[in-house]
Amino acid sequence: MKTVLVAGGAGFIGSHLCEFLLEKEHKVLCLDNFVTGSKENIKHLNENENFELIEQDLTNSLELKQKIDQIYHLASPASPVDYQEMPLETMLANSFGTKNLLDYAKKNQTKFVFASTSEVYGDPKEHPQKETYWGNVNPVGLRACYDESKRFAEALIMVYRRKFRTDAMIARIFNTYGPRMRTNDGRIVPNFATQALKNKDITVYGDGSQTRSFCYVSDLVQGLYSLMHSGVHSPVNLGNPEELSILDFAKKIKELTKSESNIVFKDLPEDDPLKRKPDISKAKEKLEWEPKISIEDGLPKTIEWFKTQVTDS
Ligand code: UDP
pLDDT digits (tens, 9 = 90+) for 113-136: 999 999 999 999 999 999 999 999
Average pLDDT of the residues of the chain: 97
Structural domain boundaries in the chain: 3-177+215-241+274-292
Q: Which atom of ligand 1 is nearest to the CA of 210?
A: 15
Ligand 1 centroid–CA 187 distance in Å is 5
| Catalytic (active-site) positions | 146
Q: Choose the residue to mutate in 205, 251, 271 for probing ligand 1, maximizing ligand atoms within 8 Å of C-beta.
A: 205
The answer to whether the CB of 1 falls within 8 A of the CB of 26 is yes
The whole-number pLDDT of residue 93 equals 98
Half-sphere exposure of 162 (CA within 13 A, CB side): 7
> In this structure, are strands 111-117 and 215-216 parallel, antiparallel, or unpaired?
unpaired
Task: Tell me: pLDDT of 311 over 90.
Answer: no
Ligand 1 mean position to 118 CA, how many Å? 14
Q: Is 191 in the pocket of ligand 1 (CB under 6 A)?
A: yes
| Ligand 1 neighbourhood includes 176 CB (under 6 angstroms) | no
Confirm or reject: Cβ of 205 under 6 Å from ligand 1: yes
Q: Which residues contact 287 (CB under 8 A, 6 or more apart)?
A: 223, 226, 227, 230, 232, 236
85 alpha carbon – ligand 1 mean position (Å): 16
Strands 263-266 and 202-205: parallel
Q: What is the pLDDT of residue 206?
A: 98
Question: Does ligand 1 lie within 6 Å of residue 193's CB atom?
Answer: no
Residue nearest to atom 18 of ligand 1 (CA): 187
- Would you say the CB of residue 175 lies under 6 angstroms from ligand 1? yes
User: How much is the average pLDDT of 92-98?
Assistant: 98
Q: Which amino acid is at 215?
A: C
> Is residue 212 within 6 Å of ligand 1 at its C-beta?
yes
Closest C-alpha residue for ligand 1 atom 11: 205
- Alpha carbon separation from 64 to 5, 79, 104, 153, 208 (Å, rounded): 10, 28, 9, 21, 46
Fold held by 3-177+215-241+274-292: Rossmann fold (3.40.50)
> What pLDDT, on a 0 to 100 scale, did the predictor assign at position 61?
83
**312 pLDDT above the threshold of 90:** no
Give the tens place of pLDDT for each residue, 171-192.
999 999 999 999 999 999 999 9
If you measure from the C-alpha of residue 274 to the centroid of ligand 1, how many angstroms do you get, rounded to a whole number?
A: 10
Query: In angstroms, rounded to a whole number, what is the distance separating the alpha carbons of residues 14 and 185?
Result: 16
What is the structure's pLDDT at 66?
A: 87
